[in-house]
Amino acid sequence: MQGAMLYGTGDVRLEERPDPTILEPTDAILRISAACVCGSDLWPYRGIDPVTQPTPMGHEYVGIVEEVGSAVRHIQPGQFVVGSFWASDNTCPICQAGYQSRCVDARPMGAEGSQAQLLRVPLADGTLVATPELPSDELIPSLLSASDVLGTGWFGAAAAEAGPGKTVAVVGDGAVGLCAVLAARQMGAERIIAMSRHGDRQTLALEFGATDIVTERGEEGVAKIKELTDGLGAHSVVEAVGTQESMMQAIQSTRAGGHVGFVGVFHGMQLSAMDLFWATVHLHGGPAPVRQYLPGLIDLIWNRKINPGKVFDLTLPLEQVAEGYRAMDERRAIKALLLP
């Protein structure tokens, strides 16, 4: 099969790789219908996370089940499925509590590499959710978004306790931040402030349900949020970037007693204990338990209540995977969808 491999900084290639096979009886093999490039794929692509050997890339996927192992009970060949970027058994106490990304047997899908024609999914019954029938092509981008960015934005909004009567601020205007805006809208938030300085992303944020746009960053951004909230700060703030500045902006934009949901993968961040002490806010975050939300998200997408697939503003054949990385690296695209 053809699959994407990262060789080093800025060097991603599509190459012939061995077809994946059933290694454990709980595995499934998918024929990928669509995959995509994640903002987190850019960390190794930019050399910020070192690449020591050629590495399969991609952890977001939708596809059709080709084959299942002997212990798979519910997932069947021929089904169209959406899966989380963490494989999980969905039965252990951590999964049962809704934290499947930290399953006692969690497996990172990035190790398998979904930017490819075929994909091995461990723990298939726990990880995959089938759609009611084969989807029409126009639903595929939205279903793909549920695999990571929508589920992650949703967790961010849930962790920030977005809900009726709440003012929610979202730090970060990448695909996850935009999906957090959409999630906050679905959760009934009264006011949703998107922090963005890019015109195309502001437009999508407004379409997804933002009521206000703040272009300022850092301390100016915090001051602007305070100004919009009677000097108090937002009830709920989603951090969807993962830098020192964005996390401090999120914490300081939150009113005392409010909630920060943080879903950006941190790089080189240090929090001051006294800043945390005086912030007097709830902090909740981590790798999103996307599997918890998949059935509900698939239902909303299937019934055309939400259209998160709009975050894909570039669609390329898998052969042009390198261009997908370049376009996102250079911020020419919010998110690139790849068709094998």
CB of 95 to Zn ion, least distance (A): 3
Q: Choose between 95 and 225: whose C-beta lies nearer to Zn ion.
A: 95
Instruction: Quickly count: other Cβ atoms within 10 Å of residue 77's Cβ.
Output: 12
Interhelix angle 199-208/175-186, nearest 10 degrees: 20
CB of 123 to Zn ion, least distance (A): 8
Q: Choose between 27 and 161: whose C-beta lies nearer to Zn ion.
A: 27
Q: Choose between 85 and 208: whose C-beta lies nearer to Zn ion.
A: 85
Q: Which of 175, 176, 174, 173 is nearest to 193 (CA)?
A: 173
**Amino acid at site 255:** R
Q: Choose between 125 and 190: whose C-beta lies nearer to Zn ion.
A: 125
Closest CB to Zn ion: residue number: 103
Rounded to 5, what percent of the chain is helix, strand, coil?
A: 35, 25, 40
Instruction: Quickly count: other Cβ atoms within 10 Å of residue 309's Cβ.
Output: 20
The CA-atom distances, in angstroms, between 78 and each of 51, 207, 269 are: 36, 35, 44
CB of 297 to Zn ion, least distance (A): 19
Q: What angle do CA 171, 175, 179 make, to 5 degrees?
A: 75
Q: Choose between 91 and 320: whose C-beta lies nearer to Zn ion.
A: 91
**Pairing mode of beta strands 234-239, 254-262:** parallel
CB of 75 to Zn ion, least distance (A): 16
Q: How far apart are the first and last CA of the chain?
A: 10
- Where on the chain is the footprint of Zn ion (CB under 5 A)? 88-89, 92, 95, 103
| Rounded Cα–Cα distance for residues 67 and 29 (Å) | 5
Q: Choose between 75 and 95: whose C-beta lies nearer to Zn ion.
A: 95
